[in-house]
Structure 1
């Protein structure tokens, strides 16, 4: 039996299917373009979201996330998840605190970070983390094993991190990285609340000249290192004061694995630097971060690398990023600060401070100190 095919009809059918497919693709592209346009309209030029997108969530909105973790020996994928913000805020506080406290130990975090990079034996962990003995290690490993935050291949074998826990833990670290600076600000806030530990007298007698003396002490250290020969102390009519030197200028580059410029660390990290000045009868020394947090406002200006950099603070907290505001052939640092009136009930007295300047000049005759009023 001879079969014949009507290729014309078949071709017409294929054309129809192709036309339908083209319409579907056009519709998909149209919807995608429309969504992208809406998102762009909700963003400013920096790409930051300006307006909430209607997601059908409650008035507090929702969190949407997905991703995958690909390790050397494991792979785990999170399909798209959705969490209502109100539901997250209503989580049991006791349980949340227990989870965070279980992880909130330096050595446990170090253990997890180590085995995330590669499976390790107990001996290798002790050596890598410089623990000295295995007793301390196994105390934390026992807790991590019981919490399903660590696995062991076999008795005496390698420890590794469970694949299904990897992505949540890494996301937690990502969130923490966005909050790292808050630990510095909490320390600064504690310093404000305990100003007497640094100022050494009763609140009625707190002396703002102690802050000025501390800033000047840092300039003297720069002079002793051979990099500063000239400093100006300018008393302003609004009650603030500026100390400007011709030293090297505080470094502005960011630390490795951080976006924080070094000058911001100098001004906000209490524990990073030792104090160069102690007030009489004080328990702790006054560092630049202490000057910063006890000031209602502070502005730092750094001149180095052919540029002028500036950043502003309020009670120790940055109000601006480190900005490049000009070009210069000079080097040095200028600090302008206004002591907080809630802490200091008296202002600067230029004539009183002149006596201290005279003593400094006698001790360091090669350091020129100019006492000025604007």
Structure 2
């Protein structure tokens, strides 16, 4: 009978473990060189990684996992990986069909309701206020045919297919990350229907003063609320600045949105959560709010003095060009908006005589307000 040499076996095991550790370290080093952990916001690091990768290098990978407490229990997804290169090569026609199948508000509402708990058709109609079961079953049939849903039994509860839950939740997560694009899509549509907001145009374009009056109205609203005593208008040729010493637009996060109050005030055309003042141009069908001014401006910059800080954000045709920056400290409060009307939509420059006439009327209406023009 041969005796085992445990010492030799232990040495061999140590050698194998050391080899595995070396391979793991090499794998992590290779991944780092391929930019898997590079932040896309750090331009220098990203550029360096692209240079190191070369034309045939990997583009990195996405890693994901998660848990989801469902009525049927806790679903757990082990860590998974998808190579970016494969995602970029995915059949775009198939991807478009998938997104189109889910790209309907009522279908997303149905999926979200069923992710919370399985429900019957009648319960879904009541919860989602769909009016008729026919409307519901039209969407149910399409999603069941795509293997997204199933019905436990005839007349029973509908349920999201367990193997589809993670991809659906990831799509909702991606949509949430892209939610601000819906505002920008609406702002682009507003530019295309500028006449709805700006009224009729002459041969050269619309009157740029309507944007000026809309910005000014927000400062006047602050005065009427007892929060502002001074308003200044500065003309810079094609652009203008209106500054007040009001409270300043809030820059804190707006609950449940992941965006600031300022961002919502400046970009949300629906004005669902944060509202700005509104003026109406002659012959227009819709009022001009701050998001409309932003959408119709080639460039706009807003500076807020509030809670001891000076914050600034810049836009082009309504799209933010950078996050909200804190650029200084101050004991003052107020908001300054500098904007340049889009020359493709507006004709001429600001007319000092017309502005002085408007400001004269404001001084008569509000004698205690200090309002000045700086040309």
Query: Runs of 5+ in structure 2 lacking a partner?
Result: none
The one of 292, 295, 313 aligned to 1:293 = 295
Question: 2:31 matched to 1:31?
Answer: no
Counterparts in 2 of 1:56 and 1:159: CA distance versus 1, 3 Å = farther
2:92 is matched with which residue?
Answer: 91
2:355 is matched with which residue?
Answer: 353
Contact 1:116-1:161 at 8 Å conserved across structures: yes
CA distance in 1: counterparts of 2:356 and 2:159, whole angstroms: 64
Greater displacement, 32-41 / 276-285:
32-41
**Aligned runs of 1:1-374 on 2, under 5 Å?**
10-35=5-30, 37-38=32-33, 43=38, 50=46, 51-52=49-50, 64=62, 67=65, 70-72=68-70, 73=72, 75=75, 77=77, 80-82=81-83, 84-85=86-87, 87-88=89-90, 90-92=91-93, 96-131=95-130, 134-200=133-199, 201-236=201-236, 238-272=237-271, 273=275, 276-373=278-375
CA distance in 2: counterparts of 1:286 and 1:221, whole angstroms: 15
CA RMSD after TM alignment: 3.2
CA distance in 1: counterparts of 2:198 and 2:183, whole angstroms: 20
- Deviation per CA, 1:72-128: give whole Å up to 9, x if none: 22637475444635532x532xx5444333322212211101111222233443443
Displacement of 1:147 in angstroms is 2.9
- Deviation per CA, 1:115-151: give whole Å up to 9, x if none: 1122223344344334455454344333333332222
CA distance in 1: counterparts of 2:251 and 2:203, whole angstroms: 35
Displacement of 1:268 in angstroms is 1.2
- Deviation per CA, 1:213-238: give whole Å up to 9, x if none: 111112222222222222111112x4
Contact 2:234-2:242 at 8 Å conserved across structures: yes
Displacement of 1:61 in angstroms is 5.3
Displacement of 1:342 in angstroms is 2.6
CA distance in 2: counterparts of 1:64 and 1:303, whole angstroms: 40
- Deviation per CA, 1:316-363: give whole Å up to 9, x if none: 111111011111222211101112223223111222210011112222
Displacement of 1:207 in angstroms is 1.4
Counterparts in 2 of 1:275 and 1:231: CA distance versus 1, 3 Å = closer
Contact 2:34-2:59 at 8 Å conserved across structures: no
Displacement of 1:53 in angstroms is 9.1
Contact 2:33-2:53 at 8 Å conserved across structures: no
CA distance in 2: counterparts of 1:144 and 1:274, whole angstroms: 40
Counterparts in 2 of 1:278 and 1:363: CA distance versus 1, 3 Å = same
- Deviation per CA, 1:285-308: give whole Å up to 9, x if none: 211112112212111011112211
CA distance in 1: counterparts of 2:66 and 2:38, whole angstroms: 27
- Deviation per CA, 1:37-90: give whole Å up to 9, x if none: 5257983696676134988997995865554554422637475444635532x5
Contact 1:61-1:84 at 8 Å conserved across structures: no
Greater displacement, 329-338 / 155-164:
155-164
Contact 1:149-1:161 at 8 Å conserved across structures: yes
Query: Runs of 5+ in structure 1 lacking a partner?
Result: none
- Normalised by the size of structure 1, how large is the TM-score? 0.85
* Equivalent position SS for 2:92: coil
Counterparts in 2 of 1:47 and 1:211: CA distance versus 1, 3 Å = closer
